[in-house]
Amino acid sequence: MTLWWSAALIAAGATVGVGLAGSALGAWREERAGRVYELTPRYLRVAGRALVAALALVAAAVGGVVAAFGDGGRGPAPAVAAVAAAGRVPAPAAARPDSDRAHKAAPAPLTLVGQPQGGRLYQGTVPGVAGQVRIWVPSQYAAHTAATSAALQAVVVRAPEGELAEVWEGLAGAVVAGHANPFVAVAPADPCAVAADDAALRRAVAAQFRVASRPRSWAELGVDAGSACAVSAELAHPDAYAGAAALGGALPHPAAGGPSGVRLLLAQAHRDTAAQAEAGRLRAALQGVPDTAVRLSSVVRDATAGRERFRLVRLAADYVTEEFAAAARR
């Protein structure tokens, strides 16, 4: 029994410890990345993950000692078991039925198709807009609408269907981290199908959800193939949006000059040098345009492209939150 318990403790402690250490490193890089546009880093969650990782690795080390010297078959000591439990990552809570009237049924002709990240995902058509749309309502929506009469802000998400899971995760994660407001996210099935100013889309969504339809209460978020369309919408109608964030992908190459008041975040993963070059060209083309601010970021790194996309979406949510606040003062 000693060897069995020791082997289990070593495996569990090492697995959890290495995983949380990697998570802590990624969180640290993400907080540093926020300084690109003057967000205050919050290192408390980084320290928490690092501490739990250290506890788990200590548990693995204790397991190794027990395996080497034995304990008479009595199994791991209570203190060791407590350390192992402290390093265990809790499973996500099961989704609870929502009794709020806003969520009893999908607004017709929309259909509830899932509950990613604790929110609600609807799909269908909305009046005056061609094609299918997906509308993701965050988990905070019901409580917000019950507690205040203020409408939520919203983002038009222009992203390939296969990348939307990281978008929902990134938007929800930014709220949990305390950096961003909860947004209603509206994703056309064809990222570039909706007209540039999205006026009909804003009106239709605001008629069915507690979302503002007025100018600058919406923003654009483009991911990879949808980035060019998100930027084009902001360039064409900067008065309609608080700003736009483009995460990787090709970008439009406008002639020098353009309308004033453009707000852009062009963020790419550290490894995506081609997208970084695209961002540099666009920023150069917009230099000198009055009241225009283009921010660049290329510091996000992670083990896979999917995890980098998740972290980029979190940065975009932080940025959009700041721009919504700035637009309210303008």
| pLDDT digits 0-9 by tens, 139-185 | 999 887 776 667 899 999 999 999 999 999 999 999 999 989 999 99
Q: Determine the average pLDDT of the residues in 280-292.
A: 93
- Rg of the chain in Å (alpha carbons): 23
Q: Which of 144-153, 271-280, 309-318 shows the lowest per-residue confidence on average (mean pLDDT)?
A: 144-153
pLDDT of residue 26: 59
Q: Taking 60 as the threshold, does the pLDDT of residue 78 lie above it?
A: no
Quote the tokens at residue 328: 């309210």
pLDDT of residue 36: 46
Quote the tokens at residue 23: 């998570």
Q: 62 vs 5, 55, 66, 257, CA distance in Å?
A: 11, 10, 6, 65
pLDDT band with cut points at 50, 70 and 90 for residue 194: confident
Higher pLDDT among residues 104 and 168, named by residue: 168
Q: Taking 90 as the threshold, does the pLDDT of residue 1 lie above it?
A: no
Q: Taking 60 as the threshold, does the pLDDT of residue 92 lie above it?
A: no
Question: Which phi and psi angles does 25 have, rounded to 5°?
Answer: -65, -45
Q: Taking 80 as the threshold, does the pLDDT of residue 278 lie above it?
A: yes
Rounded Cα distance, 110 and 207, in Å: 13
Q: Which of 28-42, 79-93, 133-147, 257-271 shows the lowest per-residue confidence on average (mean pLDDT)?
A: 79-93
pLDDT of residue 67: 47
Q: Establish how many alpha carbons lie within 13 A of residue 302's alpha carbon, considering only the half-sphere containing its beta carbon.
A: 20
Rounded Cα distance, 190 and 249, in Å: 16
- Which percentage of the chain shows pLDDT scores above 90? 53
| pLDDT digits 0-9 by tens, 44-68 | 555 665 565 566 555 555 555 444 4
Rounded Cα distance, 210 and 230, in Å: 23
Q: Taking 80 as the threshold, does the pLDDT of residue 287 lie above it?
A: yes
| pLDDT digits 0-9 by tens, 203-249 | 999 999 999 888 899 999 999 999 999 999 999 999 999 999 999 99
pLDDT band with cut points at 50, 70 and 90 for residue 318: very high
State the helix-helix crossing angle for 2-33 and 305-329, rounded to 10 degrees: 40
Q: 124 vs 37, 194, 297, CA distance in Å?
A: 36, 14, 35
| DSSP code string of 275-305 | HHHHHHHHHHHHTT-TT-EEEEEEEE--SSH
Calculate the CA 157 to chain-centre distance.
12
Q: Which of 177, 158, 321 is nearest to 225 (CA)?
A: 158
Residue found by looking up tokens 């969520």 in the block: 103
- Which percentage of the chain shows pLDDT scores above 70? 65
> In 71-221, which ranges are continuous DSSP H helix?
78-86, 141-147, 164-176, 199-208
pLDDT of residue 150: 77
pLDDT of residue 321: 96
Q: Which of 26-35, 248-257, 299-308 shows the lowest per-residue confidence on average (mean pLDDT)?
A: 26-35
pTM over 0.75: no
Mean predicted lDDT score pLDDT of the chain: 78
State the helix-helix crossing angle for 78-86 and 44-69, rounded to 10 degrees: 140
Q: Taking 60 as the threshold, does the pLDDT of residue 119 lie above it?
A: yes
Element (H, E) at 50: helix 44-69
